[in-house]
Structure 1
Amino acid sequence: MTHTPEMVARRTALCLASGVDPADIEPGTGYDLSRNGYDSVRASWIAHITMHGHNEQYGRPSLRKAFSYWAERRPEWTAGDDWEATGLEAHRAYWDGTGRTCNTSECLGHGREREALSLVMVDGSDEDGPYPALTPTLWVGTEGKGFRFTRATAEDIVRDLNACEYGLTAEWHGEVIRMSWDASYEPEPGDRDIAPDADGLYDISGWWPWDDFAGPTERVTPELIAELEALRVIRDR
């Protein structure tokens, strides 16, 4: 960030007007380096994590940058003071109290506990499914990512998809599923590969809306129950 003399002067004036000791105003930036300034920034980060969650892509890099700034200037205060751990603990306590989880993608406060064991159907279809899946705990008819299936279930989905006339087909290329579509599905025909993730599961969730399986219960076969148990082992290991 560029600190023009005018900006430094204005920040310094604001600090002085707020009662900050001149010795706690950083030369060259005009920033407040007082204990009150540290506690205010720390509290702001913890409050943000508490309410909104925290992930690798967005929150963590910015928090580390802020923490490093203070660690360079006030190491006696940052030593042993883990803003992230404190914020995540408060985040879990807050959301556990609501009986829900946050909607932050890949939130570090929840990890895999955010995944639920589910039986899902293709929304609007009474025939496609049910399919055992690991799903986000919060979803309603979503077309977003996060629905993960075993190879056996992925094979069932591919078979059922190819039996329909959606303009979308799938075929196996070794361990990879190749989804292909024509102009009746998307204006521009194309294809995309879905490879297994580190758990050997397939995220086949961004192609159509899903719905919870609501019965009849006789369609829940021993094979489906075994697949759910396999997913439980993967989720909890």
Structure 2
Amino acid sequence: MAIRPTAIDEIVHDFEHAYQDAVHARVRITSAGLAYIALTIRHHLPTATKIAVQVDSMTLTAVHSPDEVLWKAGDGRDFDNVATIHVCPLLTDVLTFGRDEEALDDLGWDKADGNPGVYTATLPRHLFTVDCTTYGPYAADPVPDTWNAHDPIRVTRATAEQIAHDLNTHDAESGLTAAWDGLNLVFTWDRRYRDEPGSQTVTPEPDGRYRIGGLWPWMEWTRRADKA
């Protein structure tokens, strides 16, 4: 029996919708996983800012601070056991969802010079959620001491995509939506959200980061806040 054209359209639509959901789920898992890894490492190495990872074997090879290499695989320090027992299983979980080069590039991971298969990732120090929600956590650049909840945070393209997806999926009736126009992220609202309809366009800065804020209050994320 031939499949009805409308049934084919429905199947294609369902597939595309499921695929996009999977892409956003991968971004969320990998971003939240890196945040979890950062918390685990900094419990033992508080000044850690970056890690190096052998992607194919999904192993941690080094931990860096801004000034020095804090740890290298097999150097005999106490952190060897932490890396093996705690960090590497987390890395396996994270990279299972996104270890191809395109996925890692999208997440802001960098290829290590002169080390094939090794990527470096900056450990997030500041994690945010939308106030009074469980969205995120969203990794952002450090904010100044004068920052307040309505100020913007700076995020990668992948994180900006996740913010837009969460807004459109979970707050569809709020009157505020987000859509991509090429490289620009456009927020649009109607009278359900503010007294006057309007829009805000966020353009990428020279380093590719997006400065998002002013449309809702941010809150710094903690595991306690996420469970509240």
Asked if Structure 1 and Structure 2 have the same fold, meaning a TM-score greater than 0.5 normalized by the shorter chain, the answer is no
| RCO comparison, higher one (Cα < 8 Å, 6+) | 2
TM-score, length-scaled by structure 2:
0.41
TM-score, length-scaled by structure 1:
0.40
